[in-house]
């Protein structure tokens, strides 16, 4: 396993506009972290149904050449976004999700676009992004913008979801570091109800519950507030569904951070419903932070 000081920021490259956005974002992030940037392209396996008449050698050679071209273009894109970044490239074979998940075990961060060249029209996020955020060993950032043609904003706050789960605690650490490195404010969001509003209207003392949840949020942030005194923090406690509140806050954010699975996650499901909603619908880059290992 790579030494923590040398862990790279890894970004998947496939020649798409979405991947180019991810490369630019990753290059700037690698500079903030003083980390090397590794651009990875995986050549697809030969389709099982390929006719016997297909010249498989020529097919593989063409894929390899195309991969080298995409990596060269991505290197130029990275250096244009962050001229001081240290860039290297890797060309591998197999399945992209499997390769990136394996690479995440020795990476500081894995960065992906929302949808590559293989994406189907109408799908908001590609299958590779879903697989890597679900099974990645390190934090994974899916670079999203308001739409496919618009670069993500580089101003605004960092937003983090807080619910008291182990993954949420890891997300808080990630978010404070991200806010500090960007000189950006942090919005810590605790949304504590999945119940319909009309149900809560039947509860006479929900204001007391709100006060208790506000106190709990402040306690969960206390250590980081002391560690990062220069980060301005807004605490938002909402009687609302977590996904809805975080998506609303993300509209004006430069990054939204969540744990891979929250307090209500079902055993065996590695990616929670809130994280799923963010990577499919947020209008800014989304960082999914896994629970710390045992």
For residue 293, the model assigns a pLDDT of 63
Q: Across residues 55-60, what is the average pLDDT? A: 72
Smallest CA-to-CA distance from 164 within 219, 112, 107, 208 is with 219
How far apart, in whole angstroms, are the C-alpha atoms of residue 210 and residue 52? 67
Q: Cα dihedral sign for 13, 184, 229, 190?
A: negative
Any idea which residue has 């619910």 for tokens?
163
Query: Domain check: are 280 and 165 in the same one?
Result: yes
In a domain, 149, yes or no: no
pLDDT in tens, 73-119: 999 999 999 999 999 999 998 888 899 999 999 999 999 998 765 44
Cα dihedral 136→272→289→122 (10° resolution) = 70
Smallest CA-to-CA distance from 80 within 32, 35, 24 is with 24
pLDDT in tens, 247-272: 999 999 999 999 986 444 433 344 56
Q: Which residues contact 253 (CB under 8 A, 6 or more apart)?
A: 156, 157, 158, 159, 187, 284
pLDDT in tens, 126-170: 678 888 988 899 999 999 988 767 889 999 999 999 988 888 899
For residue 286, the model assigns a pLDDT of 96
Provide the pairing of β-strand 87-93 with 109-113. Answer: unpaired
How far apart, in whole angstroms, are the C-alpha atoms of residue 226 and residue 232? 12
Query: Domain check: are 135 and 231 in the same one?
Result: no
Pick the last residue of a domain from 86, 109, 143: 143
Query: Domain check: are 167 and 278 in the same one?
Result: yes
Phi then psi dihedrals of residue 93, to 5 deg: -115, 155
Query: Domain check: are 191 and 249 in the same one?
Result: yes
Query: Domain check: are 131 and 172 in the same one?
Result: no
Q: Specify the number of domains making up the chain.
A: 2
CATH number, residue 112: 3.40.50.620
Domain that holds residue 281: 158-289
């Amino acid at each position: 396993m790579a030494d923590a000081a040398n862990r790279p920021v890894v970004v998947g490259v496939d020649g798409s506009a979405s991947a180019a956005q991810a490369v630019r974002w990753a290059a700037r992030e690698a500079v903030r972290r003083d980390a090397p940037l590794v651009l990875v392209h995986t050549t697809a396996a030969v389709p099982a149904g390929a006719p016997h008449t297909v010249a498989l050698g020529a097919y593989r050679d063409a894929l390899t050449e195309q991969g080298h071209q995409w990596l060269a273009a991505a290197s130029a894109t990275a250096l244009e976004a962050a001229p001081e970044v240290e860039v290297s490239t890797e060309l591998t074979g197999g399945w992209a999700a499997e390769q990136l998940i394996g690479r995440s075990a020795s990476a500081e961060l894995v960065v992906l676009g929302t949808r590559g060249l293989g994406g189907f029209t109408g799908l908001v996020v590609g299958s590779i992004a879903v697989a890597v955020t679900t099974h990645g060993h390190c934090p994974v950032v899916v670079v999203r913008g308001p739409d496919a043609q618009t670069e993500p904003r580089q101003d605004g706050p960092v937003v983090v979801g807080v619910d008291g789960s182990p993954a949420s605690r890891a997300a808080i650490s990630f978010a404070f570091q991200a806010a500090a490195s960007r000189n950006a404010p942090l919005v810590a969001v605790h949304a504590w109800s999945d119940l319909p509003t009309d149900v809560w209207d039947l509860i006479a003392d929900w204001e007391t519950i709100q006060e208790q949840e506000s106190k709990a949020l402040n306690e969960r942030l206390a250590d980081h507030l002391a560690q990062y005194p220069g980060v301005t923090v807004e605490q938002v406690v909402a009687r609302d569904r977590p996904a809805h509140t975080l998506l609303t806050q993300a509209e004006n954010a430069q990054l939204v951070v969540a744990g891979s699975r929250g307090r209500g996650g079902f055993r065996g499901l590695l990616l929670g419903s809130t994280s799923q909603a963010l990577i499919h619908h947020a209008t800014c880059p989304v960082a999914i932070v896994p629970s710390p290992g045992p």
